[in-house]
Structure 1
């Protein structure tokens, strides 16, 4: 007997976890010793994007025949990646029922089918007491039963799924009492969802993408325990918008076209890190008392004025990143009008400046960098990443190196 086969079943199963499920299953032909070992695997992953039709048929036959024989008392994770497949929804439902019967802890499904076969989720999914992580993506119909109860669910990700009714998502969220991490990416052609409501006291992370969808007329978010918030999308003509009660927010990424920026920013004043891209100018009067790291996008026409107001509102700022958020395309920059008084953060706290937004040496850009160098008393590094077709780097370096610097310790670097 070879050395590996002499190991305990428990150790061999752990070894099989390091290879894809398909490879682990293939070890069953090695010997009688290996024939059933894969059936004890606590982590299973089937399917991928590049399966042929014949491979899908083989997968369906394999799962129909073997999944009922699986022996692991607990399945830690069950992943299905089903693309362009003609698999029958009733077969997929059966596989999920079987996986759930093993005290399933994590379920991930990516499902793309032509023609659309949306209804693949069994009703017992929404009453699974053991489920901790649920990730659904693609052409999946989310039809939540009235008896929904997911007492252990902590992570929920819904990426471009279809909702059966307008209240489906809210019903699901309201029955996840310890939910901590929520990601929702609404589909731009979803005509069912007209409002987004997240009233989740336990939530700590929220990532929400709202497309430019004329069917959505408003949203409400109340998450008092939230620490991380990422919002992106075109939020234009909604009838109502309420974002409030985020006193514990630490990090926010806001990439939005938003008419009522005041209510959005007002909920984020406790952040320590803020990324902002907005075509709406921040109102005066806000103060980010805890903000230490600010990233601001150069793409809006109001960038320069936005930067001034953010600097004034951030007395404890230590790091400033000027960049192009999410591969946006800058369309021009407004004229730099330097503040009438020097922002407090330049005099007391700013240590790092990074311009990674394709600096090309235009007068507005140069004036901003020169102003910061001239007034930032505690600046340690200023790093400028130039655009390839910009003025040669040595000319920009020479121009900026000749400008006065308030901090003798400041190092000016080009990337």
Structure 2
């Protein structure tokens, strides 16, 4: 029939499911289509919000938007929450995120504020600490934190979490991992500037009985390297299948129980002329001898050949 609006005839659960694939700023725009669409976006089971999209970047504007969504349907379960704070801190945002976590989301992606300039004209990191109920969520399946601090939570138990990405997020990694019994995928991007200031431990310990994929990607570019951000990486993950290491900031790497390792992607280097490190290089290379597939960069190949010549 000409001019028939077949989309509007679809049942509401299907419409809200379709809208869940759009950024919230686009789903809100559908409210002008008709009376039926006016409040439909308020029932979408996901929220993808960029605070920079608001015409007035004020705490009250952003928080009132959150409150309207949460109060319109108190029983609505937001399965996915993605929030990008932009370039300004929002006081009270943590409380709203806590409310969403109480409603049992499966996916949480929070990009906190990056920097702010204080009265002394110096630039400081702006970190929005996550609410404590995050660390006892019984529904979270995936978690991504960017520029979001993680205070020492004490108790950590996230029984359904399978994927975690921490991008320049200050955290007690070992404690977090200990409370994620089914975690299968972990990606870490360090905040090297904070490490330079002594705010990050020089030891990264990854211990997990469930982990299958672990990535430390090269973040600052191929030629970025600093003597001031070296740190030690320890990996104890007997079910690990894929390992990607792409930083030059490793002072040493210790591996243990990597019997399941299937694929390794290495873009790292050691200093083989450093006699104190030769045994550590040998132990690391010996620990990955069972791998079936290997992708290695030129600088890593040089370490292999140098190590081989030193061993003979």
The correspondence of residues 21-36 of structure 1 with structure 2, limited to 5 A, is 21-36=24-39
The correspondence of residues 59-78 of structure 1 with structure 2, limited to 5 A, is 59-70=62-73, 73-78=76-81
Query: What is the rounded CA distance, in whole Å, between the counterparts of 2:178 and 2:250 in structure 1?
Result: 27
Q: For the pair shown, which has the larger CA radius of gyration, 1 or 2?
A: 1
2:41 aligned partner? 38
Structure 1 residues 3, 119: closer, same or farther in 2, change over 3 A? closer
Instruction: Indicate whether 1:20 and 2:34 are aligned.
Output: no
CA drift of 1:33 comes to 1.9
Instruction: Indicate whether 1:145 and 2:157 are aligned.
Output: no
Structure 1 residues 236, 54: closer, same or farther in 2, change over 3 A? closer
Query: What is the rounded CA distance, in whole Å, between the counterparts of 1:274 and 1:155 in structure 2?
Result: 23
1:331 aligned partner? none
Query: Greater helix percent: which structure?
Result: 2
CA drift of 1:204 comes to 0.1
Query: What is the rounded CA distance, in whole Å, between the counterparts of 2:260 and 2:102 in structure 1?
Result: 38
The correspondence of residues 351-370 of structure 1 with structure 2, limited to 5 A, is none
DSSP-derived class of the 1:220 partner? strand
DSSP-derived class of the 2:83 partner? strand
CA drift of 1:72 comes to 6.2
User: Structure 2: any 5+ residue segments left out of the alignment?
Assistant: 117-124, 219-224, 271-276
The C-alpha deviation readout for 1:118-154, integer Å capped at 9, x for no partner, is 133111011101001000112x211131111111111
Query: What is the rounded CA distance, in whole Å, between the counterparts of 1:93 and 1:137 in structure 2?
Result: 14
Higher RCO (CA-CA < 8 Å; seq separation 6+): 2
| Alignment partner of 2:232 out of 218, 221, 229 | 218
1:174 aligned partner? 178
Query: What is the rounded CA distance, in whole Å, between the counterparts of 1:181 and 1:247 in structure 2?
Result: 17
The correspondence of residues 225-240 of structure 1 with structure 2, limited to 5 A, is 225-235=239-249, 237=251
Asked whether the 8 Å contact 1:53–1:85 carries over to 2, the reply is no
TM-score, normalization: structure 2? Answer: 0.79
DSSP-derived class of the 1:198 partner? strand
| Alignment partner of 2:266 out of 254, 272, 285 | 254
| Alignment partner of 2:167 out of 154, 159, 166 | 159
CA drift of 1:273 comes to 1.8
The correspondence of residues 295-306 of structure 1 with structure 2, limited to 5 A, is none
User: Structure 1: any 5+ residue segments left out of the alignment?
Assistant: 285-304, 310-415
CA drift of 1:203 comes to 0.4
DSSP-derived class of the 1:269 partner? coil
